[in-house]
Amino acid sequence: MGAQLRLLPPSLPFRFFAAAAVYHVVLWALLALGADEVPGFVGGPGLPLAALHALTLGVLAMTAIGATLQILTVATGQALRALWPCHLVSWLYIPGVGVLLVGLAINDHLVSAAGLLPVLAALGLFGAITADLLRRAKGLRVPILYIWTALAALAGLALLGFLLVADLGHGILAGWGVDRSAIGLAHMILAVYGFMGMLALGYSQILVPMFALAQAPAFPRNLHIHVALAAALILAVVWALVPLEGLSTGGLIVAAGIGLVGAAAHVAQMVTALRTGMRKRLGLSFVLVRVSWGALVASLVAGPLALMGLLGGQGVTLWGAIALLGWLLTFLLGVLQRIIPFLVAMNASKVGGVPPRLSELAPDMPLLYHAACHAAAVVLVLVGLVADQGWPVRIGASIGVCGGLAYLWFAIAVYRRMHGPRPERGAPPPATGGPGVEAGGETSNGKR
Ligand code: HEM
């Protein structure tokens, strides 16, 4: 019941999830349009950069905002002080990202700036709302540490992102004697492993045990893992920003090594939760989640290999694709297809009547289409990068667009079932073993 009291008006988290589902289609469409420029992309304006930020700002950060506003209020038991700041974040961020993408795609600095300012204002406000919730939260010590780390990384990546956009328009960095690629690398590490990475690992501490009906990850082992990952992140950002010939590459490889140990230990804790959980059949969503864990570890092996030049000219782009498409996007799409029906069920039962089963809410056909398209799209993009060819990227991205449309179909169908007609209770459950019954939460330091 406490959880239901903390439910936000459904349109608030869902507008972010809906926008993420739309930008997911935009990501693949931009990648298909700019396919010939993708192999060899190491920054600079154009369609690949716009596609990259349709993914990072339009899908990853967008979902993170919607999920954080809802999950943190339920998990911490703390209410938001007011709803209007959350509405304001959505009015600034959702269209702001669109304008920024256009500016990056056509390399128009004024348009980029017109999009960037509302995006930065929204991210700042989101940071303030989240910090206020974290400050008042009780319990959940380790997940909260992850989210504080993610907020600190968000501040850093936004500042570096601002400098990178300003440099696109005014070439300021060279004038300051600052190496643009060093800023780009630090921005990428802070954004991928800092902001999005820490949020994904932090929320996994809550969501994976919740969906698997398992014990929360063991304390203080999960705290030690967080300390190792945070240390690796700080080391990597410092070495990226201080390009000392030979030394910084060595420093980055050491940081990646520490990160690899931390990430492997995190994945081991998650696998233990799945193995010991009371719910064994977790369906398609956790196939995506498990694949993403493999990609997380692979990205921390590919990174150092790319830095040592052992992955060829495409090394850095390949590393970015494994981390962003293989790990973060796959993880997010796996978890989101559980969160959306879960939230709809919570809201539907709030309006009285028999709470719907999650399996009644989530049509499985679009998810099957999506999973097949997503796998083909990611593999073909990676093949295009390894082969240094644009056409596999174009085919892959076009299949990605189909997968994105299937995911949008799923999201709309579930949302409509919140108020609309649902399949008859007792109708045969879907073939893929949908999400199943509701779950209870546990705190991450082992206390119920
Ligand atoms: C405040 C929002 C952001 C702005 C203004 C921004 C801006 C930029 C710009 C201008 C570049 C091009 C750098 C270059 O030409 O070398 C870039 C690169 C990149 N950004 Fe962002 N970004 C933002 C947020 C993010 C987020 C949230 C992520 C990931 C989660 C991300 C991931 C990346 C990656 C991976 C690169 C490629 C690195 C490179 O080019 O060296 N960005 N960003």
Spatial distance between the Cα atoms of 385 and 378, rounded to a whole number of angstroms: 11
- What pLDDT score does 426 carry? 55
Indicate which atom in ligand 1 lies nearest the CA of residue 195. Answer: 30
Spatial distance between the Cα atoms of 169 and 336, rounded to a whole number of angstroms: 36
For the Cβ of 393 lying below 6 angstroms from any atom of ligand 1, the answer is no
C-alpha 181 to ligand 1 mean position (Å): 11
Walk along the chain (448 residues) in steps of 10 and give the mean pLDDT of each run.
72 96 98 95 92 98 96 88 96 98 94 96 97 91 96 97 88 88 94 98 95 92 97 96 79 96 97 95 95 98 92 90 98 95 84 69 92 98 95 98 97 84 54 42 42
Is the sign of the CA dihedral 134, 140, 141, 146 positive or negative? negative
Beta-carbon contacts of 257 under 8 Å, excluding residues fewer than 6 positions away, are 304
Query: 180-189 and 221-241 are packed helices; what angle lies between their axes, rounded to 10 degrees?
Result: 170
What would the pLDDT profile of 302-318 be if each residue is shown by its tens digit?
A: 999 998 889 888 898 99
- What pLDDT score does 6 carry? 73
Residue 17 tokens, joined:
């999830």
- One-letter amino acid for residue 107 of the chain: N
Residue 56 tokens, joined:
């990072």
- For residue 122, the tally of other CB atoms under 10 A from its CB is 22
CA distances from 195 to 236, 285, 428 (A): 14, 23, 41
Q: Give this prediction's pTM.
A: 0.92
C-alpha 413 to ligand 1 mean position (Å): 33
Spatial distance between the Cα atoms of 293 and 335, rounded to a whole number of angstroms: 12
C-alpha 284 to ligand 1 mean position (Å): 31
**Domain ranges within the chain, ordered by starting residue:** 12-139
- What pLDDT score does 4 carry? 62
Take atom 7 of ligand 1 and give the residue whose Cα is closest.
161
Q: Where are the beta strands (DSSP E) in 60-167?
A: none
Is the CB of residue 172 less than 8 Å from the CB of residue 109? no
Supply the Cα-derived Rg of the chain in whole angstroms. 21
For the Cβ of 192 lying below 6 angstroms from any atom of ligand 1, the answer is yes
C-alpha 289 to ligand 1 mean position (Å): 25
C-alpha 190 to ligand 1 mean position (Å): 10
- One-letter amino acid for residue 94 of the chain: I
For the Cβ of 44 lying below 6 angstroms from any atom of ligand 1, the answer is yes
Spatial distance between the Cα atoms of 251 and 387, rounded to a whole number of angstroms: 29
Long-range contacts at 178-185 (CB < 8 A, ≥ 24 apart): 179/243, 180/43, 181/42, 181/43, 182/240, 182/241, 182/243, 183/241, 184/42, 184/43, 185/240
For the Cβ of 213 lying below 6 angstroms from any atom of ligand 1, the answer is no
For the Cβ of 55 lying below 6 angstroms from any atom of ligand 1, the answer is no
Spatial distance between the Cα atoms of 143 and 222, rounded to a whole number of angstroms: 9
Take atom 35 of ligand 1 and give the residue whose Cα is closest.
188
Indicate which atom in ligand 1 lies nearest the CA of residue 320. Answer: 35
CA distances from 300 to 254, 262, 270, 319, 404 (A): 11, 10, 18, 8, 27
- For residue 421, the tally of other CB atoms under 10 A from its CB is 7
For the Cβ of 43 lying below 6 angstroms from any atom of ligand 1, the answer is yes
Beta-carbon contacts of 216 under 8 Å, excluding residues fewer than 6 positions away, are 205, 206, 209, 273, 442, 443, 444, 445, 446
C-alpha 187 to ligand 1 mean position (Å): 6
Spatial distance between the Cα atoms of 108 and 98, rounded to a whole number of angstroms: 14
Nearest to 367 by CA among 394, 398, 405: 405
- What pLDDT score does 313 carry? 83
Spatial distance between the Cα atoms of 197 and 27, rounded to a whole number of angstroms: 20
- What pLDDT score does 115 carry? 97
- What pLDDT score does 151 carry? 98
Indicate which atom in ligand 1 lies nearest the CA of residue 158. Answer: 1
Is the CB of residue 97 less than 8 Å from the CB of residue 57? yes
Q: Scanning the structure block, which residue is given the tokens 């926008």?
A: 19
Whether omega before 220 lies within 30 degrees of 0, making that bond cis, reads: yes
Residue 187 tokens, joined:
């921005």
C-alpha 98 to ligand 1 mean position (Å): 15
